[in-house]
Copies of this chain bind each other. A is one copy, B any other.
Amino acid sequence: MNRMKWMFPFLVVCGVLALAFAADNPDFHKEQNGLLRHVVCFAFQENAKPEQVQGVVDAFLDLPNQIPFIVDIEWGTNVSPEGLDKGFTHCFVLTFKSAKDRDAYLPHPAHKEFGKSLSGLIKDVFVLDYWTK
């Protein structure tokens, strides 16, 4: 059949185009070579009790046990003397290997449940994700 005759060259052209796209797309390289950092900062409500704040920290740090594709979690409380923290006191940096993993984390039931537990305790949230270079 005439249609079959064109199938092989057509697939070759598709393959070449896909490779060219991947080589030219910076996101592709980042996915291959870098790590995706997910920076999350919290400002707590003034009336949040220390044990409630600790509960949020503990619950956040427990997420990698429920969501194994969080490959790392690092956190700490603000000790900057510069006064440029905009009221944020807690910083958590999660690491993913791919945007796919980050995208699976965001709607994950364990993450959603954690989000619900913040209700009434959190005054403000700052989130910024970046690829390490």
Q: Which residues of A contact B (CB under 8 A)?
A: 34, 36-39, 41, 74-82, 84-86, 88, 91, 93, 99, 103, 106, 125-133
- CB < 8 Å neighbour of A128 from B37, B80, B130, B132: B80
5 pairs from A and B in contact (CB 8 Å cutoff): A39-B39, A39-B91, A74-B133, A76-B132, A85-B127
A75 touches B130 (CB 8 A): yes
Where chain A touches its partner, the secondary structure class is: strand
CA distance A100 to B97 in the complex (A): 33
A130 touches B39 (CB 8 A): no
Q: For A88, list chain B residues within 8 Å (CB).
A: 126, 128
A128 touches B38 (CB 8 A): no
Shortest Cβ distance from residue A132 to the other chain B in the assembled complex, whole angstroms? 5
Q: Which residue on B lies nearest to A88, using beta carbons? A: B128
